[in-house]
Structure formats: C-alpha cells, structure tokens
Structure 1
Amino acid sequence: MADFLPLLIELGTEELPPKALPELAQAFHAGVLKGLAARRIVVREDNTGEVPTGPLYTPRRLAVYLPAVSTQQPIQHSEVPGPYTNIGLDAQGQPTQALLGFAQKNGVDWTKLDRVTDAKGMRFVFRSSRPGSATSELLAEIVAEALKALPVPKPMRWGERDFAFVRPAHWLVILFGRDVAPGEVLGLKSDRMSRGHRFHHAKGVWLNEAGEYLQAMREAKVLADPRERRQRVLAEIRAAAKQAGGEARVPDALLEEVNCLVEWPKAVLCSFEPDFLRVPPEALVLTMETNQKFFPVMDADGKLTEKFIGIANIESKNPDEVRKGYERVIRPRFADAAFFFDEDLKQGLASMAEGLASVTYQQKLGTVADKSARVAALAREIASRVGASPADADRAAVLAKADLQSRLVGEFPELQGTAGRYYAAAAGESEAVAAAIDEAYQPRFAGDAIAPSPLGRALAIAERLDTLAGGFAAGLKPTGNKDPFALRRNALGLARTIIEGELELDLPALVDAAAANLPAGVSLDKRELLDFIVDRLRGYYADQDVPTLQFEAVAEVRPDSLLDFDRRLKAIAEFARLRESGALAAANKRIRNILRKVETPIPDRVDSGKLAEPAEQALHEALSSALADTDPMLAKRDYVGTLKRLAKLQAPVDEFFDKTMVMADDTALRDNRLALLRGVADRFAAVAAVEQLSAG
C-alpha cells in the first residue's frame, strides 16, 4: 500500500496583479491536481491538518498545499496497438513482415503479442507493465506544466533569462513531506527556503516540512491563506469603524482586491475635512473605493461620514504617519471633486441641457438633444400608461442627459444620472423629476434593481427603447462580441423594467412609436427588434432555472405584453407539473402536425350534426364545456386556471385519437374532425404552444 505525504509548492514572485491573482492561484492549484491525476498519483483529504487544500496566495506568492499525496505512481500499464490480423498474418497463418517488424520494435516474439477486437476487427497489441516513478521525481515537471497553462495574456521576461511569466519569479519551494523534491522551474532550483514579509521579515524562512507552512509564514508576518487573510481584513475594518462610531461600507469586489494587495493587513482609521461632505457622496465614495482602495465609514442612517479606513500592508510603529499619508493622497482628489461640483452648480442643469444640441449622439441619429427629444415623446406616452405624470416625464427626459456636459461626470463617468439628480434638486426641480433622472439608468449592471418609481420606470423604458430603435435603424446591431451601443444590455434592462415593474404595456405599439420618432433616412425592421428583445429573455429566465421548452412554448405565441409573457410562463410551469401535461403536450403536437399538412380550408366551426362517433361527440362536448369555462378566465388573464381546466381534456382527447380516424375518406367527416381538433389546439394556444413541452 502506497505511503502518503503532505506536498507544498510555493512560487515567489514580484507583486502579482491583484485583480488577476485569485484566478491565477485557482488555475495553478487546478493545474497541479491535473498533473498529479494525469500521472495517476493519488491525492486524498486529511482532515487532521489545519492547512486547507484550496489555493494559497498573497501578492508575492502562488502556493499549493495538499495534505496527503501518494509517494509513488502505481504500476504503469501500457498497450501499443499493432497491425490487424488480416495484415499481420498471411493466408497460411504465418507472420508477415509488418507483424514481425512490430514485434521486433517492441522487443518481443510475435507469438507473445495479445489480440483484441475493435470496430474494425481483430488486431495484435503489445502490452507491458513497469513500476511507477517516485512522485518526488515528477513534481518539478508537474509544476512547470501547471505554470505554463496559467491564463497569462502578456508574460514578461526579466534579467538575462529566457523564461517568461506574469511577473519575475525569485524563489521556488517544492517540499514533499520533509524532503525537497528535485527540479528546476523558470530557472529556479527547488528549495525549502521561502521568504517572509517584505518589511517585517526581510529574510528567508526555513521550512522543515510541508505541514508547517502556514504557521511558519505567520511567524514571518505573512498570512498565506487568503481565507484567513480576508477574515483579518474584515475584522480590522470593523474594529476601526466601531472606533469611528459608524459602520464601514465593504463591497465584495473591493474586499477581494484589497485582500490581494496585502500579506499582513492592518487597518488605519483616517478622516477628511467635513466640508467635503457637501459634494455628492457618490463621488467621494467612488474616489475612495476605486482610486485609493479605501473603505468609507457610514453613520447609523447610512450617510457618509468624514471617516474612512485604509488597509496597510504593514504594522507600523508610527501609524499616525501612515494615516497622514492616506489623508494626504485623498485630499487633492476630493478638492477636485468639490471644484467640479461647485462649477457645475454655477452653470446649472438647464444650461447644460442647451449645450447638448452641439454634441453628436450618432451620425444618422443626430445630436444628444435630438435623442432627448425623442425620449421625451416616448416618456410622455409611457407615463400616461404607468401612473406617472406626462409633464414630469417630459421634463425629466429633457434634463436626463444634461449632466453629460458637467465637469463632475467628465471626471467620474459612472456618476451620469446621479450627478444630474443633485443638479436638478439644486435647480429647484421637483423631487420626482430629480429622482427620475437618476433612476432612468437603472438597472445599471447585472443584479441591479430596476427604477423604483413609476416616473423613473417610464423614463428608463423610453431611454432604452429609443436606443434600441435608433441602434437597429442605424445599422448598429450587435455582432459577435461587438456591441458598441450596449443594445443587449439595453434590451434586457427594458424587459426587466417592464416585467419586474409589472407594467402592462403593448411592446409592438411602443416600438411603432419609437420608429415614428426616428429621423428621416433611417428605417427600422420592427419585427427584428421585437425578436431581439424577446431573445434577451432567454438568459434572463435561464438564470431563474426556467426550462428552455417552457420558454419556447410562450415565445412561439408572441404575446404583445412582456408582463403577459411572464404570466404565461408561470402558468406553463404550473401546467408542466400536472399529471396530464405530458399526454396533452404530445396530443397537441400530433394535432399541430395533422393541421400543418392540411392544404384545404378547415371549417371555422364544428357541425355537431356531423359528429358520427361517440369519441368525437364526447370530445366536442368536453371542449364546448372547457371553452365556456375558460372564456372568462382568459378575459382576466388567468392562465393558470385556464390550463388547469384544459388539462381535463386529456381523457377525451386520448379517446378521440384511439377510436376515431381523423383523415376519413368522407370529406365532410374529415373536415369536421379537423375543425374539432383545431378548436382544441387554438384554446391551448390562447395561453402557449404547449406542444413545445413534448420533446418527442
């Protein structure tokens, strides 16, 4: 039975790019496991150790620790295919030159070769076995393969070396148990000597055995486990925020990035002049988080305070100097933001809006002012249907793009709409108009909420609808990965706003209105745009685990309202859970196939006097009753109730197909039966194409 030992691999480098670091570490860990598996070296869990088996990394190292790795490959079996027997043997059953050559090449007599049969017939094979190699002899090769496979788009070279990597590499540890596994990777010979923190422990760290890695690193002021380090960062942030009497804002992405910037995190509580709080807090937060990787501190009401937290990669003997440094770097950026804000207030939002007449939106679609006018026309129409003020919608649309002319948005493009809200409020616009200017951009990203107010939703829909209509009309449709006007994102945002906002809107009518507003000289394929919008819903509902067949069942009937589309989809999900759904889906598919092949006109109504068979009489009676019951349901768009009622048709439909010949020789009988079947199919189609649920 093979022995098992812990394995440690550590590659020390210059500071790695923080945003790419987790992916690099995960890929390195996976690559090592892949290399071991390819050589049939067993890796198993050992729950007694404290060291995790996930990737380990800091800004200066990529590491892999596996608690139990087999010390030896198993016996290696190989099988070399040779010639087929009809080629290897002559008519007398004697070996041909081809077979003798194959046997000689493998060092055996041809009579010792085995025979196997595959799809082409019987052939000779040479089978052999040899002892497996010691794992330690293979580790350097495995590490080299794993590093070569890392997702490094632009590797760099350093010094006189011929090697390339994401950053210069300076040391390599490969410890298998207590022993160094021999080898050389990236010009570095494997060793047991790691390195500690650049400032706290600027010397080597001798590792006696693989299992002591994390503790040895801690003693050298390095937290090599990113999970432990992240918890330390969070604890430091929370302690500093508590000291400030508030709560830190800690976005996951920023926490992850900061975690990849430090090896020994230490929070430093800082502050800035309270006068800067007159600037839109979003600008200050953006500066702190994006530019400086600081964590803002909020008060009990969620408002920004003058406190913020920096995470140092050193436990300084003079933390006041670190604090002063952080405060010093942030002050000029805040001063710039304050200056831009003050100058924008002097200009005013209305003046900014006037300047949009000189800014080209798109050559075929005119200026940004032209676009704002088109959006205003759509917004007025939509507002009247969603319970918002058309006058407010017009005003908000006219001002919505004005902050593109502001200095603040010029410096912080992410604040488009947000800045406009502040400028509108300062100019005396109503609270609803000011909020709608900001809400028009929601959802801004995947997972973001839709606009919360009816006015904001009206503006959000109008903005996206004009962008989509104009983009398609101007020939800017997405191709492959290219989507310069973000039409895919706009289509999904439009659909989400309608569905999640529960807005009953006629989408084809809105597309008609958007097309009518477009400049002369451009034309819109309305059906193509509608198909594009519906197609964006595939991913939206796939993320909600809606089966593709259910989506197709609703998409085929093309409801004009996306909210209605959503209702039908929920009804189909309920229907699919019914015992009768499978048989009815198959029956509807059969009906559709029959009707599709009919070339002569089918009567509009069933003639009850021509119903000759008991089965067709029973189906007609059941259908008539179902039609009477579901008419009021459909009028109220009660699709769940409709399908549950129609599910009762399963037995008479099955009986009809079992006992009745649809395509009878008698034309009158045949046409009457086709009319009956079309009645069944049409009533189901009033909700969805349920035949799509039948995979057969």
Structure 2
Amino acid sequence: MDPKTQPLLIELGTEELPVKALPGLAQAFFDGVIAALEKRGIAVERGDARPLYTPRRLAVLLPGVALEQPEQASEVFGPYLNVALDAEGKPTRALEGFAAKAGVDWTQLQKTSDNKGERFVHRAVKPGVLTIDLLPDVLREAAAAIPVPKPMRWGGNDYGFARPVHWLVLLFGKQVVPAELLGAKSDRMSQGHRFEHDKPVWLSQPEDYVEFLRGARVLVDPDERRARIVAEVEAAARQVGSDARVTDDNLEQVVCLTEWPKAVLCSFEPAFLTVPQEALIETMEVNQKFFPVLRDGKLTQYFIGVANIESRDESEVRKGYERVIRPRFSDAKFFFDEDLKQGLASMGGGLKSVTYQAKLGTVADKVQRVAALAETIAREVGVDPAQARRAAELAKNDLQSRMVNEFPELQGIAGRHYALAAGEPKEIALAIDESYQPRFAGDDIALSPVGKVLAIAERLDTLAGGFAAGLKPTGNKDPFALRRNALGLARTVIESGFDIGIPSLLAKANENLAAKNVQADAGEIYDFILDRLRGYYADKGVPATHFNAVAELKPASLYDFDTRLDAIGQFATLPEAEALAAANKRINNILKKADIEIPHAVDRALLGDPAEAALAEAVEAAIGDTDDALHHHDYVKVLGRLAQLRPQVDAFFDGVMVNVDDPKIRANRLALLRLLAARFGAVAAIEHLSA
C-alpha cells in the first residue's frame, strides 16, 4: 500500500431499506463519496471497489485514499491599473480594499494582462487540508446527494432518510473519524446478522470489513450473495433432477432481501399443475420471490424459497413457505376452472360493454377492426385468412376471464389455454398468445405465421386509432404506448420478411374507423413508425447517414427498407462509395438550380465531349445491367454495378462544364446527370454518405 494513502470504510446502518431501490441507493452513495473526495482534490485508488450493501446497510470501501489534499493554488483578480492607481502611481481605495481582502500589502500583489489591459492579481498557495478533517463534510455531502423519493422521519427529528439510521462506521486506516450523520455518531462498531449474530462487530481497520461481517453471518458484497443464491438454488433443484428458473429481476430482489441467504426446497400439491404454469410462476416470482423448478421447460411441483437465516429446523421454514403459497394457488385454480366452464367464445359477449377508448368505441369494436385487417394481411402474406380472422375474433376474449382479472400479465397466455381447451386449432390458440409479442424491449416477435399477422393487425389498428383520437405521444406522455406499438409493428414486419405496404394498410385501418367519425393521417403515422426505426437500427450499429439515405425515399415496405439499408451498408465499404456519394450530392445540387426544362432522354447527337459521351454510354449500360436486379430488389447488385461508373463520373466532372451557354447542350448534360442520379436514387439517397 502507498504510505501516502489509507483505506477508507464508511458504513451507514439502517432499518430494512426498500428492496427495489436498494442498488440505486448504494450506487448513489458510492458515487457521491468518490465525487466529494475528488471535488476536494483528494486522490482515490478505487481498484475494483464497488458499492457494498445489504437490506440493513450501505457501505463504501476504498482501498486507497490520499492522506491530504495537494497544495491549493488560488488566483484572485483585482482592479485594472487605470482604476487601481491614481495619476501619481499611488494606490486608490479600490486597490487598497482588494489588498486588504487578500490579507497582504498592495505592493505584494502581482500583475497580469488580458484583452482589456493590465490588472492586479493575488496569487497564493495554501497547504492541503488533511483528509481526515474533510471526511465529515465528504460524508454529509455524499449522503445528501442520495436520491430518496419519500424520506422517512423518526424520533421527532427534522431530517429524514429512506429508513431510520441506527449506526455509522467511519474508519480511515485504523482511526475512527469523528462525525455525525442522521443522528448516528461514528464508531468502529458494525452490526452482524439480526438473528444469527446479535453482538456488535468490532472493526480494527477497513480491510477487515468484508471478512469480519462474513463471520457475523452477513455477506456485504452483493456479488457474493448473488453467487451463493444461484449456487444454492441450482443445487436444490438438482436434488429433484430439475432446473431452477432464475430470472434477473427475481434474483436481484432476493439479493436485496437477504444478508445470509439459504435455499430451501419446497413442494406443492400436483393438482395445481392443471393451472396454466404461467399463472403459478407469476405467483411464485412476483408475490413470494420464490424460484420455480422446471423439468424440460415444464413446471414441476417443486419450488425454492430463499431464507435470510440458516435455521436449525429447516422443515419449519419449508412448511411456512408451502403454507403461504397454497392460498394463491387455490385461487388461481378456482379462477381457471370457472373460466373453463364459461368457455372462451362466450367471454367475448362482455366486450361490447367494455370501452376501449371514448372516441374509438368498445373493445368489441376494436376486435372487428383488427379481424378485418388480419384477413387482409393474411391474404398478402400467404396465411389462411379464415384462421387469421378467427384468431382476431377470440384474441381479446380472455380480458373478461377471472384469471386475467387476477393476473393481468396473463393476457393472451390465458386465452391460448382457453382456446386449446375449447378445441380451437393450435395455430389459432398460439396466435392469441403471440399477438402480444414483443411484449417488452428485447422480447421475441411472434413466431407462427398467424401470430405474426395478428400482431401486425393489432398494432396497425392501435396506431391508427391512437392518432385519430388525438393521442399522439407528446414528451414523456404516451397513454396508448404508441411508440412501443410502432416499434413492435416494424420489428414484426422486418424480422418476418413480410414485403407488405404499410401506408396502404394504415389507410385500410383508417377506413375501418369511419364508423366512429374519426380519421388519422396515414402519412403522419408512417413517418412516426420510421422515426421509431431510427433507434432500432442505431442499436444495431447502423450509422445515421445510412438510415437517412434510405429514409428519404420512404419505401412503402419496411422489409424493403431493411433490404435497402443492408445494401447501403455493403456499398459504403467499397472504395468508390465516398467519391460517388459526393458526386451524387453535387449532381443533386446542380439539378436543383437548373433554370431550364430538362428533357427525359439524352440526345446522343449533342454529346460533343469525349468524357460526356463515355459517361452516357456507361450509364446506359449500367441501367440495362441493373433493370432486372432492381425489379427483384437485389440492391446490393445494383449498387455494386453502379460503383463501376466512378472512372467515367470522375472524368466527366474533371473535364466537362455542365452549365454552358448553349441551352441545348446544357439541358442534355443535365438530362444525363438526372439519369445517373435517378438510378442511384432508385436504391437510396446515397448523397447522405458524403461528409
């Protein structure tokens, strides 16, 4: 260790902190301490230091912090000479006042110059303050910077925090730094596990912290707790030849609920397995923070709870976990059984009395609009229209089920189970579930053909209806989740390879709204969808210039948009790309400024210059070579062939004047350039690739 540094430990002991907020609170405290130290010029050796925390503590452990600040240089500017000195060169009151404030005689001041002239300046160097004397302020500043949305107050105090504070450890090296924060005075005494180690933990130095707390049955490192939880949960699942379902969200919450985690294998009655496993998993993970146990992807009768104690009688802990889960499972089974008695088809009757949106009618109205769209889309992509319509007509029925009323997250999932129970074809049942995909960022799109069609139809109607009802997103407000729906629509179309015209389908969706006397601008909605794609492609590493080159053309098919974008990406790697992009930019500027009528064809008799004749011949050949590829959307081949025109394009601009006095020759040359630009423009506006 550097003799000019000491390790620093700060631990703020509290009552149980909010689970979901805990990592953020710990990170903010950690960042705040480092920021406060660096603000004061105190060097910090962070190493691999990171926030340490448990439900009852926030801690910062830094391996090396400088013993003192470096020297503090200051520079304070005073009055200009014409104000500071009188005609005889003696100090004025302004200069004397400045010197007095600096604590020196005016003759000790230095001079400096700026663009306004010469002025006095006081420069001084002070020795750095000892870090130990600054740490109380560092602590208070870091604590004040922690974002606590709803501070609690306790004991009649006028201050608050996320939870009441009970102890404070502040060690710099082996020395306790005197300080007070939120009613707690600093000490070297930490606290172990509430139940398994009820004695204070004496810390001689910061380096002992993690090990001594571990001895007191507290794992202060969240990474260590996380690894232990995963290892124990997986080991428990292996006892019954299965695998534990460990999601990131559930794992993080258990990490924030425990200090000394211990996995306990539990079970429930097999009769509950007749309930859709998604409902049981939802109950286990969301309500109880248990880990379901699956075999080959199917839920078993086992689950794993994680206790915050290593009990002498684990069977009692097991009984407790099994007891709390049984009522929730019983409710789920009751809801499921009652829904099966009613049947999915009959549930749809209730949708006529459920308002979807005031201007757009009921959910039943939306179902009919989506069904009509699904039938149209199905015909275009080669999917059975009857199945698409049937899936759309049943897709919202489960909203009237008892199961979805209790578990809203099971929309579509419950419908799939009820459809299968009612004897509907599996394609229709699966589509009911998949119509909600992607449900969240990063989720997969629908996989089945009917599911893809229904997902697209659903989002088209939602977008058209949202815009027609005046619900276009503004700022952070997006009540109908139109941004998410636009991206979900685009992803489904592109990733499915459906070459369908979105503007025409939006127009169809708009027609379906006529009965409600509301209308949307299909063009505005399509622009909105393209804007969502900007972020989608940026996440894939596509440069904005490439996106803009295609977006300017607004291809009606999003799949075609993607195909063009891929071609632009390949074209941009060619050595000819930059020069041709620049030439295309120049051509477009010339054409925009043209003040004469440009003919549609090039007159070969007017091609007097060898360079323009060569370009005309090359362009004509390239157009002939790319007609078929353009028709079949083989844009890579088109741009690859056009890239071969660079020598002729360079020669033309090097040796030919376009805007000559002779109007016929000028118009003919403009026609040639427009022909070239049009063929490039048939793929993308490649001028965007030019810096």
Shorter-chain TM range is: over 0.9
2:589 maps to amino acid: N
Residue number among 132, 137, 142 corresponding to 2:138 in the alignment: 142
Please state if 1:567 is matched with 2:567: no
Please state if 1:558 is matched with 2:554: yes
Please state if 1:644 is matched with 2:640: yes
Aligned partner of residue 190 in structure 1, secondary structure = strand
Correspondence for 1:539: 535
Please state if 1:350 is matched with 2:345: yes
Instruction: Give the CA deviation at 1:96.
Output: 3.6
2:471 maps to amino acid: L
Correspondence for 2:576: 580
Separation (CA, whole Å) in 2 of partners of 1:399 and 1:574: 44
Instruction: Give the CA deviation at 1:120.
Output: 4.6
- Segment of structure 1 superposing worse, 379-388 or 271-280: 379-388
Distance 1:252 1:469, change over 3 A: same
Correspondence for 1:43: 44
Please state if 1:116 is matched with 2:112: yes
Correspondence for 1:191: 187
Separation (CA, whole Å) in 1 of partners of 2:661 and 2:537: 47
Contact residue 9 and residue 173 of structure 1 kept, 8 A:
yes
Distance 1:617 1:543, change over 3 A: same
Please state if 1:334 is matched with 2:329: yes
Residue number among 240, 253, 272 corresponding to 2:236 in the alignment: 240
Correspondence for 2:306: 311
Residue number among 643, 652, 675 corresponding to 1:679 in the alignment: 675
- Segment of structure 1 superposing worse, 129-138 or 269-278: 129-138
Separation (CA, whole Å) in 1 of partners of 2:628 and 2:112: 71
Identity of aligned residues (%): 65
Residue number among 648, 663, 666 corresponding to 2:662 in the alignment: 666
Correspondence for 1:296: 292
- Summarize deviations over 1:128-155 as a string: whole Å, max 9, x none: 1111111111112111111111121121
Please state if 1:549 is matched with 2:542: no
Correspondence for 2:128: 132
Instruction: Give the CA deviation at 1:244.
Output: 2.2
Separation (CA, whole Å) in 2 of partners of 1:45 and 1:32: 11
Residue number among 417, 422, 434 corresponding to 1:422 in the alignment: 417
Separation (CA, whole Å) in 2 of partners of 1:97 and 1:366: 80
Instruction: Give the CA deviation at 1:680.
Output: 1.5
Instruction: Give the CA deviation at 1:121.
Output: 4.5
Please state if 1:496 is matched with 2:496: no
1:395 maps to amino acid: R
Structure 1 unmatched runs, 5+:
47-51
Please state if 1:449 is matched with 2:444: yes
Distance 1:88 1:604, change over 3 A: farther
Correspondence for 1:468: 463
2:670 maps to amino acid: L
Separation (CA, whole Å) in 1 of partners of 2:85 and 2:609: 71
Instruction: Give the CA deviation at 1:289.
Output: 0.2
- Summarize deviations over 1:463-518 as a string: whole Å, max 9, x none: 00001011111111111111111111000000000001111111111111111111
2:235 maps to amino acid: A
- Summarize deviations over 1:231-258 as a string: whole Å, max 9, x none: 1111110111111221100001110111
Please state if 1:60 is matched with 2:61: no
Correspondence for 1:388: 383
TM-score (norm 2): 0.98
Correspondence for 1:614: 610
Contact residue 365 and residue 519 of structure 1 kept, 8 A:
no
Contact residue 2 and residue 70 of structure 1 kept, 8 A:
no
Distance 1:694 1:120, change over 3 A: farther
- Segment of structure 1 superposing worse, 116-125 or 211-220: 116-125
2:20 maps to amino acid: K
Separation (CA, whole Å) in 1 of partners of 2:243 and 2:172: 45
Instruction: Give the CA deviation at 1:383.
Output: 1.0
Instruction: Give the CA deviation at 1:94.
Output: 4.9
Separation (CA, whole Å) in 2 of partners of 1:665 and 1:112: 76
C-alpha RMSD over aligned residues: 1.4
Residue number among 283, 289, 294 corresponding to 1:287 in the alignment: 283
Separation (CA, whole Å) in 1 of partners of 2:414 and 2:570: 45
Aligned partner of residue 530 in structure 1, secondary structure = helix
- Summarize deviations over 1:503-560 as a string: whole Å, max 9, x none: 1111111111111111331111111011001111011011111111111111001111
Instruction: Give the CA deviation at 1:321.
Output: 0.9
- Summarize deviations over 1:96-153 as a string: whole Å, max 9, x none: 4323321221022333323334455543321111111111111121111111111211
Contact residue 2 and residue 72 of structure 1 kept, 8 A:
no
Residue number among 256, 259, 278 corresponding to 1:260 in the alignment: 256
Aligned partner of residue 68 in structure 1, secondary structure = strand
Distance 1:190 1:454, change over 3 A: same
1:685 maps to amino acid: G
Contact residue 268 and residue 319 of structure 1 kept, 8 A:
yes
Please state if 1:432 is matched with 2:433: no
Correspondence for 1:459: 454
Residue number among 403, 406, 409 corresponding to 1:411 in the alignment: 406
Separation (CA, whole Å) in 2 of partners of 1:234 and 1:350: 43
Aligned partner of residue 244 in structure 1, secondary structure = coil
Instruction: Give the CA deviation at 1:423.
Output: 0.4
Separation (CA, whole Å) in 2 of partners of 1:323 and 1:55: 32
Separation (CA, whole Å) in 2 of partners of 1:124 and 1:173: 48
Separation (CA, whole Å) in 1 of partners of 2:262 and 2:546: 53
2:405 maps to amino acid: G
Instruction: Give the CA deviation at 1:664.
Output: 1.2
Residue number among 588, 591, 600 corresponding to 1:592 in the alignment: 588
State the number of aligned residues. 689
1:21 maps to amino acid: L
Residue number among 364, 372, 397 corresponding to 1:377 in the alignment: 372
Aligned partner of residue 119 in structure 2, secondary structure = strand
Correspondence for 1:49: none
Instruction: Give the CA deviation at 1:4.
Output: 1.1
Residue number among 505, 508, 517 corresponding to 1:510 in the alignment: 505
Contact residue 32 and residue 146 of structure 1 kept, 8 A:
yes
Alignment of 1:266-277 (within 5 A): 266-277=262-273
Distance 1:159 1:558, change over 3 A: same
- Segment of structure 1 superposing worse, 664-673 or 248-257: 664-673
2:254 maps to amino acid: V
2:484 maps to amino acid: R
Separation (CA, whole Å) in 1 of partners of 2:121 and 2:687: 53
- Segment of structure 1 superposing worse, 340-349 or 582-591: 582-591
Instruction: Give the CA deviation at 1:358.
Output: 1.5
Please state if 1:231 is matched with 2:227: yes
1:547 maps to amino acid: P
Please state if 1:634 is matched with 2:630: yes
Instruction: Give the CA deviation at 1:360.
Output: 1.3
Separation (CA, whole Å) in 2 of partners of 1:533 and 1:375: 19
Residue number among 519, 523, 526 corresponding to 2:519 in the alignment: 523
- Segment of structure 1 superposing worse, 473-482 or 491-500: 473-482
Distance 1:672 1:2, change over 3 A: farther
TM-score (norm 1): 0.97
2:421 maps to amino acid: A
- Segment of structure 1 superposing worse, 540-549 or 652-661: 652-661
Instruction: Give the CA deviation at 1:95.
Output: 3.9
Aligned partner of residue 471 in structure 2, secondary structure = coil
Contact residue 506 and residue 560 of structure 1 kept, 8 A:
yes
Separation (CA, whole Å) in 2 of partners of 1:446 and 1:214: 37
Residue number among 209, 212, 228 corresponding to 1:213 in the alignment: 209
Separation (CA, whole Å) in 1 of partners of 2:439 and 2:88: 80
Aligned partner of residue 514 in structure 2, secondary structure = coil
Contact residue 200 and residue 220 of structure 1 kept, 8 A:
yes
Aligned partner of residue 602 in structure 1, secondary structure = coil
- Segment of structure 1 superposing worse, 445-454 or 381-390: 381-390
Separation (CA, whole Å) in 1 of partners of 2:85 and 2:626: 77
Separation (CA, whole Å) in 1 of partners of 2:94 and 2:687: 60
Correspondence for 2:218: 222
Separation (CA, whole Å) in 1 of partners of 2:32 and 2:55: 20
Separation (CA, whole Å) in 2 of partners of 1:87 and 1:644: 73
